[in-house]
Amino acid sequence: MRKLEQLDFDNTFARLPDIFHSRLHPTPLPEPYLVSFNTNAAPLIGLDSSETQRADFAEYFIGNRLLPGCEPLAMLYAGHQFGHYVPQLGDGRAVLLGEIKNGAGEYWDVQLKGAGRTPYSRNGDGRAVLRSSIREYLCSEAMHGLGIPTTRALCIVGSDHRVYRETVETAAVVTRIAPSHVRFGSFEVFFYRGQIQPLAMLADYVIARHFPHLIDAPDKYPRFFNEVVTRTATLMAQWQAVGFSHGVMNTDNMSILGLTFDYGPFGFMENYDPGYICNHSDPAGRYAYNQQPQIGLWNLACLAQALTPIISKEDAETALKNYAPTYAERYTALMGQKLGLTQTSKDDASLINTLLDMMHTSHADYTNLFRGLSHFKSAPGEKNAALRDQFIDRTAFDTWSESYRARLQREQGSDEERKIRMDKVNPKYILRNHLAQTAIDKAEQGRDFSEVDRLLALLQNPFNEQPEMEDYAAIPPEWARHITVSCSS
C-alpha cells in the first residue's frame, strides 16, 4: 500500500486530442472535512488507508490540491436524454484526475464528482450536495456487494459551502473510481458532428485499454460492439433480478463497459410492482423497472447508429439481435438461482412468472419474499404457513407451491443445501430509501456520519445474516412512503 504522493498517476485519456476533453482544475471548496472513507475500495488504487489520518487528506479529495501526475480534465460527450438527443453534455460537475495503476497491473480512473463548473456545466453550478453524494457512495458499494458491475466510491469529502437546490444544502465531493468513464454518449457526440476520425480514434482507445484481445482482429469494431451488447444485456438481467431501478437510463449514463453508472434517482424496489418508477422526474415511466431491458436495447441501437461509420449496418443489426436472447437466458438463470434451482427446465419461466404475479397482487416485499423462500419445505403436506401468509390468495399460493415442490423434487437435493444456495444469491439487505435518508439526515443535521459508515459495512455483506442489524431488513416505516427522489438527487 502506498502513501498519497506515491500513487502512480497517469492520464491516457489526456493523451487524446483536445477535442475529446477540456483541461481544467477543480474549483476549491473551503474547509473540507472527511465524511466517510471506503477501506474496501482503497486497495483498488493501492492507497494505504492510514493516509486518511493526514491533516491534508481532505484537501486532495475535494480538489483543493493535486497529487503528482494528475492531469485534470472534463470529458466531452452527448446523449439521448428521455428519448431526445442533446448535442453536447459532458462532465458538468466531474473532473477526471487521471488513472492509477495498482499492484495487480489494473488501471483505475479517479474522478471527483462535484468538483465545480466546467465548460459543460450549462447553467449548473458544477457542485454535488452531501445528500446526493451519500446516495451514490452507498449505492455503488451496495451494487458491488451484490456482485453487479459498477463504478466504485473511495470517499466523500464535505464542505459547509452553500449549494442551492430545492433548498439550501452543503457541498460534497465523492471520489469515484472505475476502469473507464467512457459512455455511449462519448461516441454519439462525434457521430452527430460528422467527425469520423475522432470516432474511430475513441473506439481504438477503448479497445486498446479494455478489449485488448480485439486489437489485431480485422473485424475488431463489430466484435467490440457485440461485446458491449452482451455486457449491457447481462447488466440489465442483473438489475432486474435484484429489483434495482436506475431511474435515468439516458445514453450518457450508459457505460461502454457495462457498469452501473451515474447514480441519481435510483431505487431498490420494495413492494413488487413491475411498473415501479423510482424517479419523480419521470412521470411517464420511460425508465420504469419493467422498461429497463427494452431501454437497454434502445440505447444500444443509438450506440449502433453512432458506430455506423466504422461498422456496417448488417454487423450492427446482427449484434443487436443477440441482445434479447442474451438477456432472457441470463435473467432466467438468475431467477432460477433465486429459486434454488440448479438445472434449467422449459417450465421455469412459468414458475417464475406465476410467483411474480402473485407477489404483485399481494404487494409482497421483493427482497424479503425471495430471502424467505429459502425456508420453503419441500416435503409433501408441508403448508409453509409463514410464506403462505404473505399472499392474499392463499389458494393460488398452494397451487404454486405444489408446482415448486415438484420442481425441487426433480432435482433430488435437500432443503438444507438449497437454503445455503439461495441465501448466497438472495440478499438480506438492500439500500432502501429510508435507510439512506436516515443516514443523510444525521449527516446534515449534526455532522454525524456514523450511520453512513454503518450502512456501508452492512451493504458490503448483503447476503450475510447480521443479527445486530436485523431492523435494517424490516419492511419500511410509514414515513418512508413520502420519500421522493428526482434527477436532482
Active site residues: 252
198-203-204-210 Cα dihedral, nearest 10 degrees = 140
> Who's near 408: CB < 8 A, 6+ residues apart?
340, 341, 376, 378, 418
- Contact between 324 and 294 under an 8 Å Cβ cutoff? The reply is no
Q: What is the DSSP secondary structure assignment for residue 365, as one 8-state letter?
A: B
Pull the grid cell for residue 43. Answer: 486497495
Count Cβ atoms within 10 A of the Cβ of residue 242 and give its class: 0-12 exposed, 13-18 middle, 19 or more buried: buried
> Who's near 15: CB < 8 A, 6+ residues apart?
none
How far is CA 467 from each of CA 87, 110, 367, 471, 477, rounded to the nearest angstrom? 51, 36, 17, 9, 19
Greatest pairwise CA separation for the chain in angstroms: 71
Q: How many residues does the chain have?
A: 489
Pull the grid cell for residue 153. Answer: 466510491
Q: What is the DSSP secondary structure assignment for residue 260, as one 8-state letter?
A: B
344: how many CB neighbours lie within 10 A of its CB?
12
**What ranges in 125-268 are assigned the alpha helix state H?**
130-145, 184-192, 196-210, 220-242
